[in-house]
Chain A
Amino acid sequence: MTFSAEKSNMIEFKDVHKYYGDYHALRGITATIKAGEFFSLLGPSGCGKTTLLRTIAGFEGISSGAVMIDGKNMEGVPANKRPTNMVFQSYAIFPHLTVAENVGFGLRKDPRSAAEKAKAVTEALEMVGLKGFGNRAAHALSGGQRQRVALARALILKPKVLLLDEPLSALDKKMREQMQVELIKLQRQVGITFILVTHDQEEALVMSDRIAVMFEGEIAQLADPETLYRRPNSRKVADFIGTMNFLPAKILSEADGKVEIDAQGFGPITLNAEQVSGAASSTGASVGFRPETLTILFDGQTAPDRESMAVVEEVVYYGDMTYYDIKLDGSDQPIRLSMRNVFGRPVLDIGTRTRVAWAPGALVVFR
């Protein structure tokens, strides 16, 4: 699958507002989703992510602003005339139809012959791994099979955009992980723009090219998974994506793209200006870092960058990983540190004093 170097814009939100009575559900959404992208809307329940998805499908009107699909303003265009198809959270597999009738539901106006349509249905079922399921009754399917039928039913119409409303939330963990991989492969294979709504940050990180994190009707940060994980632009986003430690810090000076801070437990450090995010606030700054960016140093190991002393307060053993809650010297707040368990390396006991390696480059400062 090849794309031109400059991907065109598939979806554009232009200052989209949505009110339900007095409730302001979408507060000025402006964003662009590129053609062929796997895009996720991520946020806690009630943040407006599903509402935003439904404005693309045409199930929700908007109060002001514009939703454009492939350069066309969708105002007044009903759901059945939009070049989008949806996989519903409940899958919405018609219980009165067979699997094949479900998949072929949208082909009624297709000018092809009945035989060609039947062939298309067979191919679509094959693509989602349900070969030979055509004559099954819809109500006799498992959750995972329903979801595949919903996918086939949407993709057979070759939409410009496929909308997925929390499609994996009803599946058990193993099935969910398997479907994540299958969805990524399917998206690469068909090259259609996928827009996924999810509240599961891990799912969003695994599957997406880009993610919009939403809180209370607004997009808090829109970035690729790595940026979102390494450089969240606010404490709120940092808190929502994965685990992040926070320690109080003071900003001493800012000049020439360098920032000097004094962080609890770390002492005075000089960082690059792009490591600082957020608008100035009165509550004081904090420094954030992921558990895996700290490493416990065992005998004979030396820190590649910086080194501090700490006390182990709590140990949580996970088999492949061990999580330690430690307190750095000079800090009164416990922080979490994760270590991969390598063969022959001991798990430390509570109360052990140990050396800890860290790197200024892995820190993020929130004002």
Chain B
Amino acid sequence: MTKSAGASRFRGSEAANGLAMISPTATFALLLLAAPLATIFIYSFMTDGYLEIIRDFTFANYVEAWTKELYRVIMLRSLGVSLAVTAATVLLAFPVAYFVSFHVDASRKSLWLFLITIPFWTSYLIRVFLWKVILGYNGVVNSGLLGIGLIDEPLTFILYNVNSVVITLAHAYAPFAILPIFVALEKIDRSFLEAGRDLGESPFMTFLRVTLPLAMPGVISAVLIVFIPTVGDYVTPQLVGGPEGQMVANLIQLQYLKLDNYPMGSALAVTAMGIVTAFSLLFLFLNRRYLKGAK
């Protein structure tokens, strides 16, 4: 077969049609996602000079990122916050998803999902600001608790620290956890649950042995969807984190915009991405038995 015959066959094929169809999106993704990522990756191996970036290949940025006490503390804090947010969000989202899937009349389910996503109609920034109002020194929580006499003076541990970051992020990401778990629960054939009961298990044991394992693909999606973006969240720690609630995104922003140290900022960003990827892959590996081939 000649080369041109092969080429004309390709032009008419389904694969060519498919590629043509995705090419605008692919171009967009390449330009706005892959290219900036590649730029950051390249920056991270360069040297910072005064007012310019010196094109010298170096590992110095990474050595600093991995050894400096401050960076390590902030990276570990970011991971800790993200894990806490993930745990809280997924644990609280599961009962909601379970309730909507199993106890809400089929005709009302879409209404419930609509209500769950309503907070998303408000800007993320405004929602974070509102948490400031709720958790503040003279905020809703404190004045409420003072009013009913449960506390004598306002609580200070709920704003401008790690706790407030966790609370705010958990609220912001709740729908992202509820939806995949709901979808996984919806897919469970109800005769599996009857089979569990029929084979002698109580409702609780049927949940543990049948419902939960079958919902795990949804739980795994929820964990990743919450964990991956929260590690790098910038707005929430900036607004409600206070000095001791700063996370790695704030550090990267500081390097880039305040200190004008692009290579250091890039090295921190790549490091954070690497750690998140490693954690996610490890998590997927530990849960691989729930993800194989089941229909």
**Minimum CB distance partner of B216 in chain A:** A96
Q: A90-B191, A92-B189, A95-B214 are in contact. Are A57 and B198 (CB under 8 A)?
A: yes
A86 touches B295 (CB 8 A): no
Is B294 engaged at the interface, CB distance under 8 Å to the other chain?
yes
Bound CA–CA A335/B139 (angstroms): 89
Within 8 Å by CB of B199, from A58, A89, A105, A140, lies A105
The number of chain A residues touching the other chain, given as a range, is: 20 to 34
**Minimum CB distance partner of B191 in chain A:** A92
Q: Which residues of A contact B194 (CB under 8 A)?
A: 57, 59, 79, 86, 88, 92
Q: Which residues of A contact B295 (CB under 8 A)?
A: 95, 139
Q: Which residues of A contact B206 (CB under 8 A)?
A: 80
Bound CA–CA A57/B199 (angstroms): 11
Q: Which residues of B contact A71 (CB under 8 A)?
A: none
B293 touches A86 (CB 8 A): no
Is A109 engaged at the interface, CB distance under 8 Å to the other chain?
yes
Q: Mark B183-221, 1 if CB is under 8 A from A, else 0.
A: 000000101101111111110011001100110100000
Q: Mark A73-95, 1 if CB is under 8 A from B, else 0.
A: 00000111100111011101011
Is A210 engaged at the interface, CB distance under 8 Å to the other chain?
no
Within 8 Å by CB of B200, from A92, A96, A137, A157, lies A157
B189 touches A106 (CB 8 A): no
A95 touches B294 (CB 8 A): yes
A86 touches B198 (CB 8 A): yes
Within the complex, what minimum Cβ distance (angstroms) separates B86 from chain A? Answer: 23
Within the complex, what minimum Cβ distance (angstroms) separates A99 from chain B? Answer: 14
Is B290 engaged at the interface, CB distance under 8 Å to the other chain?
yes
A96 touches B198 (CB 8 A): no
The number of chain B residues touching the other chain, given as a range, is: 20 to 34
B290 touches A96 (CB 8 A): yes
Q: Which residues of B contact A94 (CB under 8 A)?
A: 192, 195, 210, 214
Q: A80-B200, A96-B294 are in contact. Are A86 and B214 (CB under 8 A)?
A: no
Listed residue (B197, B200, B201) with the most chain A CB atoms within 10 angstroms of its CB = B200
Bound CA–CA A207/B149 (angstroms): 75
A92 touches B192 (CB 8 A): yes
B189 touches A90 (CB 8 A): yes
Is A173 engaged at the interface, CB distance under 8 Å to the other chain?
no
Bound CA–CA A92/B206 (angstroms): 13
B199 touches A153 (CB 8 A): yes
Q: Which residues of A contact B205 (CB under 8 A)?
A: 108
Listed residue (A79, A85, A157) with the most chain B CB atoms within 10 angstroms of its CB = A79
Within the complex, what minimum Cβ distance (angstroms) separates B169 from chain A? Answer: 31
B202 touches A80 (CB 8 A): yes
Q: Which residues of A contact B213 (CB under 8 A)?
A: 96
Within the complex, what minimum Cβ distance (angstroms) separates B213 from chain A? Answer: 5
Q: A90-B189, A92-B189, A96-B214 are in contact. Are A157 and B195 (CB under 8 A)?
A: no
B195 touches A139 (CB 8 A): no
Within the complex, what minimum Cβ distance (angstroms) separates B185 from chain A? Answer: 14
A106 touches B200 (CB 8 A): yes
Within the complex, what minimum Cβ distance (angstroms) separates A320 from chain B? Answer: 39
Bound CA–CA A153/B196 (angstroms): 11
Q: Which residues of A contact B195 (CB under 8 A)?
A: 86, 88, 92, 94
Within the complex, what minimum Cβ distance (angstroms) separates B78 from chain A? Answer: 34
**Minimum CB distance partner of B202 in chain A:** A80
Bound CA–CA A81/B295 (angstroms): 30
Q: Which residues of B contact A59 (CB under 8 A)?
A: 194, 197-198
Q: Which residues of A contact B209 (CB under 8 A)?
A: 105, 108
**Minimum CB distance partner of B214 in chain A:** A96
> In chain B, residues 93-142, which have Cβ atoms closer than 8 Å to a Cβ of chain A?
none
Q: Mark A85-120, 1 if CB is under 8 A from B, else 0.
A: 110111010111000000001101100000000000
**Minimum CB distance partner of B194 in chain A:** A59
Q: Which residues of B contact A139 (CB under 8 A)?
A: 293-295
**Minimum CB distance partner of A78 in chain B:** B197
Within the complex, what minimum Cβ distance (angstroms) separates A164 from chain B? Answer: 12
Q: Which residues of A contact B214 (CB under 8 A)?
A: 94-96
**Minimum CB distance partner of A54 in chain B:** B194
Q: A90-B189, A92-B189 are in contact. Are A80 and B210 (CB under 8 A)?
A: no
Within the complex, what minimum Cβ distance (angstroms) separates A121 from chain B? Answer: 13
Q: Which residues of B contact A86 (CB under 8 A)?
A: 194-195, 198
Within 8 Å by CB of A80, from B197, B289, B294, lies B197
Q: Which residues of B contact A85 (CB under 8 A)?
A: 198-199
Q: Which residues of B contact A140 (CB under 8 A)?
A: 293
Bound CA–CA A105/B201 (angstroms): 9
Q: Mark A149-167, 1 if CB is under 8 A from B, else 0.
A: 0000110010000000000
> In chain B, residues 163-179, which have Cβ atoms closer than 8 Å to a Cβ of chain A?
none
Q: Which residues of A contact B192 (CB under 8 A)?
A: 92, 94
Q: Which residues of A contact B196 (CB under 8 A)?
A: 105
Bound CA–CA A20/B209 (angstroms): 31
Bound CA–CA A177/B290 (angstroms): 36
Bound CA–CA A78/B202 (angstroms): 9
Q: A96-B214, A96-B294, A139-B293 are in contact. Are A88 and B197 (CB under 8 A)?
A: no
Within 8 Å by CB of B201, from A58, A80, A92, lies A80
Within the complex, what minimum Cβ distance (angstroms) separates A304 from chain B? Answer: 54
Q: Which residues of A contact B200 (CB under 8 A)?
A: 80-81, 106, 108-109, 157
**Minimum CB distance partner of B290 in chain A:** A96
Bound CA–CA A337/B275 (angstroms): 81
Within the complex, what minimum Cβ distance (angstroms) separates B14 from chain A? Answer: 28
Bound CA–CA A132/B197 (angstroms): 27
11 A-B contacts (beta carbon < 8 Å): A59-B197, A79-B198, A80-B202, A80-B206, A86-B195, A86-B198, A90-B191, A92-B189, A92-B195, A139-B294, A157-B199
Query: Which 4 A-B pairs rank lowest in CB-CB distance, beginning with the nearest?
Result: A106-B199, A92-B195, A92-B191, A79-B197
With A80-B199, A86-B194, A157-B200 given, can you name 6 additional A-B contacts, CB distance below 8 Å? Answer: A80-B197, A84-B198, A88-B194, A94-B192, A96-B213, A106-B201
Chain A residues in the interface with B (C-beta under 8 A): 57-59, 78-81, 84-86, 88-90, 92, 94-96, 105-106, 108-109, 137, 139-140, 153-154, 157
